[in-house]
Amino acid sequence: MPPPPESSSWSSLWSDLPPELAGLVLGRFCSLADRVRFGCVCRHWRHASQQQAPLLPPVLPWTINTDTSQAQTIPDGEVHRLRSISKHAFCWRSSEDWLLMIGFASSNHTEVGLFLENPLSGATFPLPGTDNLRHPDAGLYCVTKFIVCPGNLVVARVLSAMPTNRDPQVACCRPAFLDGNIYAITEGGDLFAHEVSDGRGAEENKPVLLSPGKLAIKGSDPSCYGVRRFLVVSCGGKLLMIKWKYGWGSYYDDDTPAFEMFEADLQMSRWAQLSSIGDQVLFLSQTCSKAIPVSPNHDDYLCGNRIYFLDRAIYGPKKCCSGKTSCGMYDLRNNTYHPIVSDVFRDNDIQAKSWFFPHE
């Protein structure tokens, strides 16, 4: 048997890893942190990872607790602390890779304001003039959800005391022209379309409540008890409503699908029920939802026809051990639950409230 090669020879062989093989390795990593570590090994691997990045499947998002800014990768359970560049701010909501922060807007720490921050890149996005988004009695900001659109448009859904089946209030911050409508759904399944005009409120540089939305689809099931509804744009550009039945009875009935999918038929003003979501994965939460395309040949960590969900319902993360939980993965192919939060979150009763999508 010939003697083993020198260690320097082995190092040379590893550093000369062909980009195609590097792509196969990187494609097995579902965590952005692991892909970044791969590129930090040496200059050749970093170049290979950059070259293969457009061909790789998407990484899985993180779960995040906006109260503590603790995030967790799935499925390995690695916990990250998303620290703000500001020492006097805390996270209020999340959307994609942005956090909506509440912090002091003046040097004397007397004026509190809202701003967006990307905790990975350090980029910030000020939102001046947001005092009219405060609750008139409590003085707290009443933004329940926000979306950053192209053209510096931040769309916020404003919580109000109106009945749940009425037109939701929607506000625009830093408005710019957006070719289309902003859609909002009520807890009863009514879909409203809010038109965004060119330069609305830009002169005053402050959020503007949009005019009452036009009823696009009347929900056929006004019941709200034991039901959550999520609105998400599919990978094909279709508007989907996902109905999650988490209440007693259907929640524990394995023969009854816990999730029902509907596609908005705007021409017929109706919801068309779907039996499958095909080659895509849905990530749902009350503050951030997103659809991610997957390859039909991918059978590892990112399979199609699955729903990952987070919600502050009546079941906490400690229920994850049973598979019936308010946060987990639901496989539409066989109507089964799978837990996604780690023992670190479960044992410490840390609620996973929203999704955070780190971009490469």
pLDDT at 147: 85
Residue type at position 301:
Y
Tell me: pLDDT of 342 over 80. no
Average pLDDT value for residue range 33-38: 86
Q: What's the pTM value of the predicted model, to 2 decimals?
A: 0.81
CA-CA distance, 224 to 235, in Å (whole number)? Answer: 27
Closest CA to 31 of 67, 68, 65, 78: 78
- Mind listing the pLDDT tens digit for each residue in 130-183? 766 766 655 566 787 888 877 667 888 776 544 455 667 787 776 555 557 888
pLDDT at 257: 63
pLDDT at 277: 93
Residue with the bigger pLDDT between 187 and 84: it is 187
Closest CA to 182 of 218, 208, 151, 157: 157
Continuous H helices in the chain: 7-15, 19-26, 32-39, 43-52, 343-347
Q: What are the φ and ψ backbone dihedral angles of 58, each rounded to 5 degrees?
A: -65, 150
Tell me: pLDDT of 236 over 70. yes
Average pLDDT, the chain: 75
Q: What is the DSSP string of 237-305?
A: S-EEEEEEE-STTGGG-TTS-SEEEEEEETTTTEEEEES---SEEEEE-SS--EEEE--TT--SSS-SS
- Which residues are CB-contacts of 125 (< 8 A; sequence separation ≥ 6)? 98, 115, 116, 117, 148, 154
CB-based contact 103:90 (threshold 8 Å): yes
Tell me: pLDDT of 248 over 80. no
Which sign does the torsion angle of CA 113, 132, 353, 272 carry? negative
Q: Whats the size of the chain, residue-wise?
A: 360
pLDDT at 48: 86
- Mind listing the pLDDT tens digit for each residue in 260-315? 999 999 999 999 999 999 999 999 988 889 999 887 766 667 788 999 888 654 44
CA-CA distance, 310 to 326, in Å (whole number)? Answer: 6
Tell me: pLDDT of 340 over 70. yes
Q: Which helix (H) or strand (E) holds 81?
A: strand 79-81
pLDDT at 318: 45
CB-based contact 24:57 (threshold 8 Å): no
pLDDT at 321: 42
CB-based contact 92:82 (threshold 8 Å): no
Tell me: pLDDT of 79 over 90. no
Closest CA to 309 of 245, 237, 224: 245
pLDDT at 249: 42
Lowest mean pLDDT among 79-93, 112-126, 276-290, 312-326: 312-326
- Which residues are CB-contacts of 229 (< 8 A; sequence separation ≥ 6)? 185, 187, 189, 241, 242, 243, 244
Residue with the bigger pLDDT between 300 and 249: it is 300
- Mind listing the pLDDT tens digit for each residue in 57-78? 888 888 887 777 778 887 777 7
Tell me: pLDDT of 203 over 80. no
pLDDT at 66: 74
